[in-house]
Amino acid sequence: MSVISRYGYDNFLVLIGIGVLLGISAYALRHSGLISIVLGVGAGLIVLFAFWFFRDPERSVPSCHNSSRAVLAPADGRIVEIVETHEKEYLDSPTIRLSIFLSPLDVHVNRYPVSGVVEYVHYHPGQYLVAWHPKSSELNERSSIGVRTAYGKVLFRQITGVLARRIVFETKVGDTICAGARFGMMKFGSRMDVFIPPASTIKVRIGDRVRAGETIIAELP
């Protein structure tokens, strides 16, 4: 069952309001032929998009426990990169970065990939390069969350794209988090990066579709 995400109530209500106004205009101009039809179709599409984009479906999330080595997908989408890199912001060490691209049609509610204690949270204002651009992880508007798990440190990063202009998250330093729990949302097309220790076992390949809170993308060493 899907509901509307609490992270998107503001935008959802704005879109519904625009749809209603267009619908009223279409009715008022019902004798104007094509204009009324265009307004009516536009109203319907906006309302449908609002319900589709801000949906928050339930997921079969594993029970929360700190002994799991599994790294869950923090976002719905497609795996676009799996690369070795040196993460400087929190881990300051060699890592594997897994990148998930979200299209505007994907569920945009984000879930924690691991269980542990949050040690680092930082929001970065920035640019709006396309989400699959190699430099988007460093230059775009983004939030970075670093977690100490029972098996080492993990960093995950919400990154905006050309369409996405707002990141929402409710995580604070010191929080104890559970893998699969909701923590925020990226509004419209976006990207999620996950940085894990280099000895981790990767469970996905480039091009794979993943579901937040359900798909295991890696296992920690």
- Separation of alpha carbons 39 and 61, rounded Å: 41
Q: How does DSSP classify residue 7?
A: G
Q: Tell how far CA 175 is from the center of its chain.
A: 20
Tokens linked to 63: 């029970």
> 43 and 19 in contact (C-beta within 8 Å)?
yes
- Determine whether 157 is exposed, middle or buried from the number of CB atoms within 10 Å of its CB (0-12, 13-18, 19+): buried
Is 32 catalytic? The answer is no
Q: Which of 143, 144, 190, 200 is catalytic?
A: 190
Question: Up-side HSE of residue 212: CA atoms within 13 Å toward CB?
Answer: 27
Q: Two tokens at 38?
A: 């265009």
Give the contacts of 8 (CB within 8 A, at least 6 positions apart). Answer: 53, 54, 108, 168, 185, 187
CB distance 2 to 57 below 8 Å: yes
Write out the catalytic residue numbers. Answer: 190
